[in-house]
A and B are shown apart, each in its own frame.
Chain A
Amino acid sequence: MFDLTGKAALITGASGGIGGAIARALHAAGASVGLSGTRVEPLEALASELGERAFVLPCNLGDAEAVAALPKQAAAEMGSVDILVNNAGITRDQLFLRMSDEEWDQVLQVNLTSAMRLSKAVLRGMMKARWGRIVNIGSVVGSTGNPGQGNYAAAKAGLVGMSKSLAYEVASRGVTVNVVAPGFIATAMTEKLTDDQKTSILGQIPAGRMGEAGEIGAAVLYLASPEAAYVTGATLHVNGGMAMF
Chain B
Amino acid sequence: MSDVTARVRKIVVEHLGVEEANVVESASFIDDLGADSLDTVELVMAFEEEFGIEIPDDSAENIQTFGDAVEFIAGATAAS
CB nearest neighbor in B for A170: B38
| Per-position binary interface string of chain A over residues 155-174, scored 1 when its CB falls under 8 Å from any chain B CB and 0 otherwise | 00000000000000110110
CA distance A208 to B45 in the complex (A): 51
Chain B residues contacting A124 (CB-CB under 8 Å) are: 45
CA distance A128 to B42 in the complex (A): 8
CB nearest neighbor in B for A125: B45
CA distance A169 to B37 in the complex (A): 9
| Per-position binary interface string of chain B over residues 30-70, scored 1 when its CB falls under 8 Å from any chain A CB and 0 otherwise | 00000000100010010000000000000000000000000
Cross-chain contact B45 with A128 (CB below 8 angstroms): yes
The number of residues on chain A lying at the interface, defined by a beta carbon within 8 Å of a beta carbon of chain B, is 7
Cross-chain contact A169 with B45 (CB below 8 angstroms): no
Chain A residues contacting B45 (CB-CB under 8 Å) are: 124, 127-128
Q: Which of A124-139 contact B (CB under 8 A)?
A: 124, 127-128
Chain A residues contacting B38 (CB-CB under 8 Å) are: 127, 169-170, 172-173
Nearest CB of B to A236, in Å: 26
CB nearest neighbor in B for A128: B45
CA distance A172 to B42 in the complex (A): 12
CA distance A128 to B38 in the complex (A): 12
Nearest CB of B to A43, in Å: 32
Chain B residues contacting A128 (CB-CB under 8 Å) are: 42, 45
Nearest CB of B to A30, in Å: 29
CA distance A124 to B46 in the complex (A): 10
Chain B residues contacting A172 (CB-CB under 8 Å) are: 38
CA distance A124 to B45 in the complex (A): 8
CA distance A170 to B45 in the complex (A): 15
CA distance A213 to B42 in the complex (A): 38
Nearest CB of A to B53, in Å: 15
CA distance A128 to B41 in the complex (A): 11
CB nearest neighbor in A for B42: A127
A interface with B by C-beta (< 8 Å) = 124, 127-128, 169-170, 172-173
Kindly list the 5 A-B residue pairs having the minimum CB-CB distance in the complex, ordered from nearest: A124-B45, A169-B38, A127-B42, A173-B38, A172-B38
Given contacts A124-B45, A127-B42, A127-B45, 7 further A-B contacts (CB under 8 A): A127-B38, A128-B42, A128-B45, A169-B38, A170-B38, A172-B38, A173-B38
Give 10 CB contacts A-B under 8 Å: A124-B45, A127-B38, A127-B42, A127-B45, A128-B42, A128-B45, A169-B38, A170-B38, A172-B38, A173-B38
